[in-house]
Every structure is written in C-alpha cells, then in structure tokens.
Chain A
C-alpha cells in the first residue's frame, strides 16, 4: 500500500509538483520559440496585464452575473418541479423519456435556438445557462426524492400531512445533502456553459475574452491567462458551495459523499 504523506508538509509536495509542471511547460516553450503558445511566465505577465485595466474584473463580473441569474432561475424551477415529479411515480414515468432524450444534448447545441429567441447578448447566455443547469438539477432532485427513506415519508403521512405540506416539511429538508451536492455540480456546469456561451454568443465575459484575445491579435498569453482565471474562479465557486455543504453536514450530522 501507499505511504502516508507527512501532514505538516501537506503543501510542500503538491507545490513542488506544480513547480515541476510549470518548469516542464516553460521548457517546452523555450525549445520551440517561434510558435504562439505562451509559457508560464508570459501567462503570468498576461494576467498582470489584464488586472490593472479593470477589464478582467468587468469580465469576471459579467460571467458571474450570468451564471447567477441562469443558475438561480434553474434552481427555482427545477427544485419544486423535481419534488413533485419525484413524488408522483406516474409523473416521473411520463416525463422520463423526454428527460432522457434532452439530457445528452449539450447546452451549446441550443445556441442557435437561443440566438433565434433572444438575439445575441446577455439574455441568450442566461438562457443557455438555464438550459444547462435545469435538467441535471431536476434529475438530481428527482433522484434525491426517490432516495428519501420511507420511514420519513410514512411518519409524515402518519401525522396527517397532505402531499404538498409533506413535500415542504419532509422531502425538502430530507434531500438537502444530496441537493447541495447537485447544486455544486450544477454550478460547475453553469460555469462551463457560461464560458462556452460567451465564446460564441456574447460580447463580454471571460469566454469572450479568450476568443477576442485570439481573434484580435493572437494574444495567446491572454488566452491562457484567461483560462487560468476561469479555472481559479470556478474552483472558488466550487469551494464556496462545498463549505456550505460541510456547514450543513456539521449541523445535521448527515452528509453526502463526493
């Protein structure tokens, strides 16, 4: 079996590894000086270039703004709907084929329709994010509802709760751990979609930054810088939701793995 890493140096080894990777990257670039791909140093310079001009903040804000709207919209539609569909077996049976066919369709495939309905701009991006988030979230809620232990539901029925009240007072709290995991994964998807949507259908945001940097002058240092920033913001969002999950778990003592 593997050996355990020394706890006190828990940042040392990954840090070293990252440095090694960066070094290899830089080496690869130096060996091929005439092509456009930037090395880590140029990328860092690219990031430094972007930050003072306030452009990057504007782009980050634009991207986050769209994600927020699309994501929240998806949450407020998918969660109640998921509770109802998860509860009524027949509803789930009825909708299942349609849902299963829609599921593999990348949100990006909706771009022509998004542009058709909303034109190029914010609304289209928000729509795409909604489309990308709605289905996974709905399926996650349905699955979570179906996974609620029968005891809780029986107890609820025993106390005379009507289905609607039961959904609010029992199903909803009972699915919180799995819901949080679903929200986190969906938020990740939203972040992926917004970048892609901005590369194609919008004129601002981090995705647009990447495309623009390339189109207007082959500034691949900015392209890669943009990618790094995308990764970092995505990671921050993810960690934010994870700490929410943990806070919940601590309080209620039950959590979802993964």
Chain B
C-alpha cells in the first residue's frame, strides 16, 4: 500500500512530461433541478498531457460523465475554465471528438457512411481512402455497406470509434464506451483501443466505473469521489504496455485504487 501511496498524489502533473493538452482550472458545475441547486462538480483541477491516456474513475453520481461532457464542450461549467491548447473550450469541435456508446452511430447510414460522416470537405477519392483505412483499422472489412441494425454491439462501437478517428481529432473523449458490451467483447475492445492508441497517439479521456479497465488502459487514473464530484487521488500507472494483469505491480496499484474507491464510497 505504501508504494502506491508514494506514487499517488493529488497533483495534476502529467505523467508524460510533455506539453499540457487539456487543463481544467477550478471547474465546478451546479445543476438546477426543480428549483433546487445540485452541486455536481467541485474544484476540478486537472492537467492532461499531449498523447496521454487518462481515466476518470469513480462511483456513479461522482460527475465523471458531466466532467467529460464539459471538457468536450457540450456543457459549460458554472465556475472555472477548461482549456484545450490554451484556448477556452466554448463548444463542441471536430478536433475533440466524443465517442458516445454505440447508440451514437447513425442508423440511417451504412458503416461507410457513418465513418465518412465528418469527411465531407475531402475529395471523394480521399474520403474513400480514409474510410477504408479506418475500416481496416477497427477490423470491419466486409461490412462497409451494412447498416448499424445488422451489426452487433461491439461492431457498432467500432464504427463509432472509427468515425471519431477518421476526422483525426487531437483529443478523444470516451464515456464508458464498452459499458453495453459483454465481458469478453469488452476485453477485446480494450485491447483494440490500446492498439489504436499506440498507433495514433491521441490524447484520450476515458470515463469508467470499472477499476480493472482503468488500470489496464490508462497512464493515470483520476479517482473521483461523489456528491459533489471532486478529485480524490490521481494515480499514475507506471507499468509499461502490454500490461500483465497478474503482475504484482498491477495488483498493487489496483488494490490501492480499490481502497481509494472504498473511501470515495464512504465519503
């Protein structure tokens, strides 16, 4: 536990040591429900480095999805600022694509149509080339002309990831993208995501409530506590990929975070 304690900290320094891509300064969010004020987020100070993979982890109600939506520009924080590339985030932007769960795939377009959705400013030839590249990358060859309702949940998720990648965003936000999938597909998709990330090196913000998922995937895990959502701990995962989920270090980190979550639940 002590090694974890040493490694963990509440500071925001990005593990990659590279430049800061995304920075939240004292972000807070208050929702109005039926005339009452509901504080959802408080004092969120976070820095994410370029090309870093960061997980937001916490119990339900800790505001992690809200934070993610705010970072992507869909919500405006009631206090504090969110900056990407030192620009204040004012709204959604194709440079920062949000991957919803597979339900974000457009049912009226084919796989090709979906993936090429953001590419309308390219010439036809370029677009076709790009789309095919990403179809291959996510492993959906042969399904170009299929409609989403003919695909499984995992396949639809891949379509959505490919659609996001195709526009070459700087940052990708993923909100429990594998939540609706069965456990085996989930494991496969995690591997796929890492593979893609190693190839394309985007900055990734990933929300999950699954501790194992967080430790398997991310460079740093931001553990959040609930009501209102606050950053409780930031735990760097210093295991190189591919991560052995039975290695002592992995288990140590995971148990440490488990303990943190336990505290988060009690708070």
Contacts and interface: CB of A to CB of B under 8 A. Distances in A.
**Same complex origin of A and B:** yes
Interface in A155-172: 155, 157-160, 170
Interface stretch (B35-43, B97-105, B176-184): B97-105
B167 interface: yes
Contact of A151 (B92, B103, B118): B103
Contacts of B147: 251-253
A240 B107 CA distance: 24
Given A151-B103, A252-B108, A158 B97 contact: yes
A151 B100 contact: yes
Contacts of B96: 158
B104 A157 contact: no
B107 A159 contact: no
Contacts, number: 53
A87 B98 CA distance: 22
Interface in A231-258: 251-254
Interface of A: 149, 151-152, 154-155, 157-160, 170, 173-174, 176, 251-254
B100 A154 contact: yes
A27 B94 CA distance: 73
Contacts of A174: 106, 108
Given A252-B108, A254-B107, 19 more contacts: A149-B103, A151-B103, A154-B104, A157-B74, A157-B92, A158-B93, A158-B94, A158-B98, A159-B94, A160-B94, A160-B118, A174-B108, A176-B108, A251-B147, A252-B107, A252-B149, A253-B148, A253-B149, A254-B149
Contacts of A158: 72, 92-94, 96-98
Interface residues of B, number: 23
B117 interface: yes
Contact of B167 (A159, A176, A252): A159
A149 B149 CA distance: 16
B91 interface: yes
Give 7 closest A-B pairs by Cβ, nearest first.
Answer: A253-B149, A173-B108, A160-B94, A159-B118, A158-B92, A151-B104, A157-B92
